[in-house]
């Protein structure tokens, strides 16, 4: 039986009548507003997800260091949310007018709701840290020390570390009437308020003007319909006036960027209880956390306590940490861009110079420091967060990894060896016996690494074709590809340069592989290549055989121990030439064919 649908009398069977753009747009907005109760705002829904992660940190049934880790995860998640989603909304607020999302909110209304929700979220984070986690960690001899309130013994150890490892590395930068230095996002910096006097020691060399005007190259775009918009100076999302003059002649400011090389968590000797009379002291290993505990200070607290050392002869009124978050919602405009590698390098530079979308300040900072920073970075006041505790809670990840504290962490469940793979025989032999499926993280990712390492030195392997999206810092996969190329094998790799926040690492890997002789394709224009595929062409007595790995997870042996993914390993006879991985799709129109469609045939 054939079913048909007759058009309603009011419907035209011919061409649909044209509607005016203005009318269609108005109806779209009205429809969105009418349907608003049916939809939950995307950004607020994500914040509720992060709140559920925070619930894990607030759950007393979860082991203590796992609670600390969950709290660190919520902080890291919120950083990325601010960089990407809030950054995008701030641009939409300028260019989008009254456009509403499916929940019925404009960009401005979304920002207001996000600010209110985030303020409550941050308050809950730090209330949990102050009132529960830090006291409980202290009970287990994991003690965060404030140099301003510690014993003489700990203070002497802290001062030795400061003079030996910190003082010679950091350089304060005087501000006065000069431009504010271009500080990196997500780093912790100290703002120092001084009494007027002679010039502050190290002088600030103003950066080139071009590095401060935050202009985005013509082949870059924001991740919204704002590519051609030029913000005006009085708009909240405009380029920060990182050069605002001081208004109070009785005050001078300096900034000390702390950077990332020194390490934020500084170990200190643990305080030992006094020895009772007539009781022999118990022998213990001072280096063992489980015996003697773990005492530490944060770098910003250490530098703040000894900040006078940077300004001899000057009176420091106050020294407080702050942290900025810059808009990372900048992507490559690929239409007309002939060089993806150069374009992505410009994207990274533009992110470094982009607008400040969030400012976090120590809650005890005085009004002069607070107002000076807000004005200097031109931050929307609703995205200024007064933090009653350490800025950036990701330092808690370091505590989670402490040795000797196993009772405070979940039991480890190391990945198991697949029963289908004999560690004593070649991976090619194991795969030839039949298809192998691996369930990560329950089964080890090592067979995938072994396959590429064996291929790199096997004289019968002729070619390796690989897609890389995200890799580890010291990737054995990349090392195997370079080793194979250096041994004369044909190695081709698609390296996706547009993997968000891994762009710099992928650019570095791409260049190293090219130097080793790997043919590198810098992604495919108009697409993000998420496929996880490796094809190895091997000469065997029966002819050419392809050994294929494809999976759902990245070629990252570290995250493979954390995330749930599937890997499939298969061997098949060679079915003839294909066009995959043999062209340069980054230089032409998008090639939407599969990486190698004949690879899936037996």
Active site residues: 530
- Buried b / exposed e along 584-602 (16+ C-beta atoms within 10 A): ebbeeeebeeebbeebeee
* Rounded-to-integer distance, Cα 102 and Cα 363, Å: 37
| Nearest residue to 164 (alpha-carbon basis) of 272, 304, 311, 302 | 302
| Nearest residue to 594 (alpha-carbon basis) of 545, 546, 527, 506 | 527
CA distances, 373 to each of 93, 180, 377, 457 (Å): 23, 10, 6, 57
- Cα pseudo-dihedral 153, 155, 161, 164, rounded to 10: -100
CB 241 within 8 A of CB 378: yes
- Cα pseudo-dihedral 100, 101, 104, 107, rounded to 10: -60
Other CB atoms closer than 10 Å to residue 287's CB: what's the count? 10
* Rounded-to-integer distance, Cα 582 and Cα 493, Å: 10
Query: Alpha helices of 422-468 — where are they, by DSSP H?
Result: 427-432, 446-457
CB 319 within 8 A of CB 341: no
- Here the tokens at position 460 are 């019968």
Helix axes 87-95, 107-128, angle to 10 degrees: 160
CB 383 within 8 A of CB 115: yes
- Here the tokens at position 191 are 């703002």
**CB within 8 Å of 452: residues ≥ 6 apart:** 464, 466, 476, 477, 480, 481, 484, 534, 536
- Here the tokens at position 94 are 């300028």
CA distances, 14 to each of 6, 11, 117 (Å): 13, 9, 50
CB 101 within 8 A of CB 44: no
Place of tokens 């121990």: 561
CB 468 within 8 A of CB 548: no
SS3 of 531-550: the string is CEEEEEEEEECCEEEEEEEE
Query: What phi and psi values does residue 309 have, to the nearest 5 degrees?
Result: -65, -25
| Neighbouring-strand partners of residue 318 | 193
Q: How far apart are the two ends of the chain, measured CA to CA in Å? A: 39
Q: Report the chain's C-alpha Rg in angstroms.
A: 29
* Rounded-to-integer distance, Cα 400 and Cα 512, Å: 33
- Here the tokens at position 291 are 């015996």
CB 519 within 8 A of CB 545: no
CA distances, 30 to each of 89, 102, 110, 142, 488 (Å): 21, 11, 17, 57, 64
């Amino acid at each position: 039986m054939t079913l048909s649908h007759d058009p309603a009398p009011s419907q035209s069977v011919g061409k649909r009548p044209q509607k005016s753009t203005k009318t269609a747009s108005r109806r779209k907005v009205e429809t969105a507003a009418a349907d608003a109760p049916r939809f939950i705002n995307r950004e607020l829904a994500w914040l509720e997800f992060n709140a559920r992660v925070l619930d894990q940190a607030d759950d007393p049934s979860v082991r203590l260091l796992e609670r600390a880790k969950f709290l660190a995860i919520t902080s890291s998640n919120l950083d990325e949310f601010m960089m990407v989603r809030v950054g995008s909304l701030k641009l939409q607020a300028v260019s989008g007018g009254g456009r509403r999302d499916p929940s019925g909110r404009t960009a401005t209304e979304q920002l207001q709701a996000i600010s209110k929700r985030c303020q409550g979220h941050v308050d809950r984070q730090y209330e949990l840290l102050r009132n529960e986690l830090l006291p409980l960690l202290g009970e287990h001899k994991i003690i965060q020390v404030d140099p301003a309130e510690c014993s003489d013994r700990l203070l002497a150890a802290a001062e030795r570390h400061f003079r030996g490892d910190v003082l010679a590395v950091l350089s304060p930068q005087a501000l006065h009437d000069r431009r504010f230095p271009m500080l990196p996002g997500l780093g912790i910096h100290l703002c120092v308020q001084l009494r007027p006097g002679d010039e502050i020691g190290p002088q600030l060399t103003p950066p080139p003007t071009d590095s401060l005007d935050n202009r985005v190259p013509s082949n870059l775009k924001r991740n919204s319909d704002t590519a051609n918009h030029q913000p005006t100076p009085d708009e909240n999302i405009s380029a920060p006036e990182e050069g605002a003059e001081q208004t109070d002649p009785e005050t001078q400011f300096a900034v000390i960027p702390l950077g990332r090389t020194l390490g934020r968590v500084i170990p200190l000797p643990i305080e030992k209880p006094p020895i009772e009379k007539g009781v022999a002291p118990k022998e213990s290993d001072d280096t063992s956390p489980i015996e003697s505990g773990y005492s530490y200070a944060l770098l910003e607290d250490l530098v703040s306590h000894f900040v006078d050392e940077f300004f001899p002869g000057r009176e420091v009124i106050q020294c407080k940490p702050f942290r900025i978050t810059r808009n990372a919602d900048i992507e490559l405009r690929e239409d007309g861009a002939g060089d993806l590698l150069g374009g992505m390098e410009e994207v990274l530079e533009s992110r470094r110079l982009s607008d400040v979308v969030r400012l976090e300040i120590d809650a005890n900072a005085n009004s002069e420091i607070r107002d000076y920073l807000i004005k200097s970075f031109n931050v929307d006041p609703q995205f200024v967060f007064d933090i009653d505790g350490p800025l950036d809670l990701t330092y808690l990840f370091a505590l989670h990894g402490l040795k000797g504290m196993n009772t405070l962490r979940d039991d480890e469940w190391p990945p198991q060896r697949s029963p289908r793979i004999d560690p004593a025989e070649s991976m090619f032999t194991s795969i030839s016996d039949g298809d192998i499926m691996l369930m990560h993280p329950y089964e080890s990712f090592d067979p995938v690494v072994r396959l590429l390492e064996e291929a790199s030195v096997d004289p019968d392997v002729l070619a390796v074709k690989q897609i890389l999206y995200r890799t580890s810092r010291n990737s054995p996969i990349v090392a195997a590809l370079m080793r194979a190329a250096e041994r004369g094998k044909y190695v081709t790799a698609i390296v996706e340069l547009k993997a968000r926040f891994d762009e710099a690492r992928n650019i570095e890997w791409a260049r190293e592989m090219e130097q080793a002789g790997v043919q590198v394709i810098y992604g495919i224009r108009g697409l993000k290549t998420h496929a996880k595929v490796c094809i190895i062409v091997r000469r065997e007595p029966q002819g050419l055989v392809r050994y294929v790995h494809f999976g759902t997870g990245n070629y990252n042996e570290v995250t493979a121990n954390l995330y749930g993914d599937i890997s499939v390993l298969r061997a098949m006879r060679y079915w003839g030439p294909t066009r995959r991985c043999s062209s340069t799709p980054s230089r032409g129109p998008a090639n939407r064919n599969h990486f190698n469609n004949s690879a899936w045939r037996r």
